[in-house]
């Protein structure tokens, strides 16, 4: 059973259901025949017999009553025989009857007590079962006669003989409809499932570009859409993986090339002037630090993205944390003649990791300073907003294209790769920021347009009152 495909299992269930239905119908028809039809005949015979016997309450079998019974036999489906002796029954039957078989000693005892008896048997001459009842007629001196009522039972084939053509037609139509239903079910259900199976095999082999076309809105359609979404996501992940590999190779190769080049230059020019040697060594040191920062950022980002990592949270008065961070850039701000337009509230409190939150402030402010034009303005906002604390930084440096906004925060992604060597960044800063914000259940967004400049907005859940601590 485990080796059967889903389609074969469903087909087996369908066939089993049909067989069960046919078997159930047979037993149900048999029940109707034996329990309802036969019982209704018995009840009708008893009713007719007792009603007929009631005409003999005077205990006289007159010719007039016998004529009425004969007339009743003509208009009724029942045969009613009235005799003064059971031995005479055989003269009235259209077939041979054995009196001793018909009425035994026990039956005779019941009749003498004034009770009726029911009889049922197969008659060869009629080729069917008959059912009848014998009712005693009592006079002043005891039994004076008997009423025998019988009726041939309609066989099951007789009951349904007229319906056989209709049943055959309905049965044929049923199986045609069943075939169409199964065929349609195969095309609409099992074919998409087969396509999904083929797609899963292609995905397992590393082909993430395949898709399945489907306009269905049912569960199979939703499953197909989920597979397409998964395939697209895996394809994008594969592209990002390739980009990541390409980027990290580029990021590692560039400083290594500088280090190797200047090292060879020092070796080849041993009589180099002190000033030139210092320049070479400074460049090597700078690129070494840059390489070290790249590796540290990668390690830190992987650390933050690790499922087992958890932040060390505590109540933070982040206003002072932001002011301390801005003080670290005082020299850079002065050198670029930047103006800080600050709107900082004094009392926002969050529950988080102070070290990581300061890292967020540092990265965002650092980027704003780097990409601001000389003499420009940087806007800083820190305030409470209902259940969140809002931190926002605005600068009017180079704008970011709309198509690049959604990719901000990806590893090594930069809107202008030429910035790398002038800004000294690794392309991992915003990735780290996004992970830290995520770990604090916050949100991160970037917008950039000519009217407002580039705006980075972060929302982190705040403590409404100190009772939450």
The CA-CA-CA angle for residues 141, 143, 147, to 5°, reads 145
If one compares 39 and 365, the residue with the highest pLDDT of the two is 365
The pLDDT score that the predictor gives to residue 156 is 47
State the CATH number of the domain containing residue 319.
3.30.565.10
DSSP 84: S
Mean pLDDT to the nearest integer, 421-426: 57
> Quick one: 226 and 114 in the same domain?
no
pLDDT band with cut points at 50, 70 and 90 for residue 466:
very low
pLDDT, tens digit, 9 for 90 and up, residues 158-198:
655 555 566 667 767 776 777 777 767 766 667 777 777 78
Tally: H helices and E strands in the chain: 17, 11
pLDDT band with cut points at 50, 70 and 90 for residue 302:
confident
The answer to whether residue 413 scores a pLDDT higher than 70 is: no
What gap in Å lies between CA 82 and CA 52, rounded to an integer?
Answer: 10
Q: Is residue 441 part of a domain?
A: yes
The answer to whether residue 461 scores a pLDDT higher than 70 is: yes
What gap in Å lies between CA 337 and CA 340, rounded to an integer?
Answer: 10
Q: Is residue 103 part of a domain?
A: yes
Q: Is residue 171 part of a domain?
A: no
Q: Is residue 304 part of a domain?
A: yes
If one compares 313 and 458, the residue with the highest pLDDT of the two is 458
pLDDT band with cut points at 50, 70 and 90 for residue 468:
very low
> Quick one: 299 and 412 in the same domain?
no
> Quick one: 304 and 317 in the same domain?
no
The answer to whether residue 100 scores a pLDDT higher than 70 is: no
Whole-angstrom CA distances from 368 to 195, 341, 346, 416, 464 are 50, 13, 22, 15, 30
User: Do the Cβ atoms of 372 and 396 come closer than 8 Å?
Assistant: yes
Q: Is residue 272 part of a domain?
A: yes
> Quick one: 300 and 272 in the same domain?
yes
Q: Which of 280, 309, 338 is the last residue of a domain?
A: 309
DSSP 347: -
Q: Is residue 1 part of a domain?
A: no
> Quick one: 321 and 230 in the same domain?
no
> Quick one: 220 and 256 in the same domain?
yes
> Quick one: 315 and 463 in the same domain?
yes
Domain of residue 332: give its range.
311-468
The answer to whether residue 457 scores a pLDDT higher than 90 is: yes
Mean pLDDT to the nearest integer, 51-61: 64
The answer to whether residue 389 scores a pLDDT higher than 50 is: yes
Indicate the number of domains in the chain: 3
User: Do the Cβ atoms of 408 and 456 come closer than 8 Å?
Assistant: no
> Quick one: 89 and 202 in the same domain?
no
Could you tell me what percent of the chain has a pLDDT over 70?
72
- Mean pLDDT across the chain, nearest whole number? 76
Q: Is residue 174 part of a domain?
A: no
> Quick one: 414 and 388 in the same domain?
yes
User: Do the Cβ atoms of 458 and 442 come closer than 8 Å?
Assistant: yes
**Residue whose tokens read 């407002």:** 452
The answer to whether residue 385 scores a pLDDT higher than 80 is: yes
User: Do the Cβ atoms of 212 and 206 come closer than 8 Å?
Assistant: no
Which of 106-115, 293-302, 347-356 reaches the highest mean pLDDT?
A: 347-356
């Amino acid at each position: 059973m485990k080796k059967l495909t889903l389609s074969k299992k469903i087909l087996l269930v369908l066939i089993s259901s049909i067989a069960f239905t046919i078997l159930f119908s047979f037993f149900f028809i048999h029940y109707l025949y034996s329990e309802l039809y036969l019982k209704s005949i018995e009840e009708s015979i008893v009713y007719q017999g007792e009603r007929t016997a009631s005409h003999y309450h005077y205990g006289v079998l007159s010719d007039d009553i016998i004529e009425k019974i004969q007339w009743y036999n003509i208009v009724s489906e029942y045969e009613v025989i009235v005799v003064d002796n059971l031995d005479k029954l055989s003269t009235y039957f259209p077939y041979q009857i054995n009196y001793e078989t018909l009425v035994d000693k026990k039956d005779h005892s019941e009749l003498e007590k004034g009770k009726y008896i029911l009889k049922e048997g197969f008659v060869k001459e009629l080729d069917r079962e008959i059912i009848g009842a014998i009712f005693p007629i009592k006079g002043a001196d005891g039994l004076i006669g008997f009423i025998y009522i019988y009726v041939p039972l309609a066989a099951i084939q007789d009951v349904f003989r007229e319906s056989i053509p209709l049943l055959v037609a309905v049965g044929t139509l049923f199986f045609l409809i069943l075939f169409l239903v199964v065929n349609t079910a195969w095309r609409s259900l099992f074919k998409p499932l087969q396509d999904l199976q083929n797609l899963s095999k292609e995905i397992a082999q590393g082909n993430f570009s395949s898709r399945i076309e489907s306009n269905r809105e049912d569960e199979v359609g939703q499953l197909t859409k989920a597979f397409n979404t998964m395939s697209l996501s895996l394809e994008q992940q594969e592209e990002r993986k390739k980009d990541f590999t390409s980027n990290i190779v580029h990021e590692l190769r560039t400083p290594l090339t500088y280090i190797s080049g200047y090292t060879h230059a020092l070796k080849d020019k041993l009589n180099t002037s002190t000033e030139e040697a210092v320049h070479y060594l400074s460049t090597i040191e700078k690129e070494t630090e840059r390489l070290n920062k790249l590796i540290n950022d990668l390690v830190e980002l992987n650390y933050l993205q690790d499922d087992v990592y958890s932040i060390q949270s505590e109540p933070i008065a982040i206003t002072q944390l932001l002011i301390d961070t801005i003080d670290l850039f005082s020299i850079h701000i002065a050198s670029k003649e930047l103006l800080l337009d600050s709107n900082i509230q004094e009392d926002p409190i969050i529950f988080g990791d102070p070290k990581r939150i300061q890292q967020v402030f540092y990265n965002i402010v650092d980027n704003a300073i780097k990409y601001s034009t000389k003499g420009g303005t940087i806007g800083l906002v820190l305030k409470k907003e209902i259940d969140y604390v809002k931190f926002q930084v605005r600068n009017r440096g180079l704008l970011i294209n709309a198509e690049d906004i959604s990719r901000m925060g990806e590893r090594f992604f930069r809107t202008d790769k030429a910035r790398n060597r002038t800004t000294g960044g690794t392309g991992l800063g915003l990735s780290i920021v996004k992970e830290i914000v995520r770990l604090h259940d916050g949100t991160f967004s970037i917008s950039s347009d000519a009217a407002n400049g580039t705006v980075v907005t972060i929302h982190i859940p705040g403590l409404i009152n100190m009772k939450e601590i």
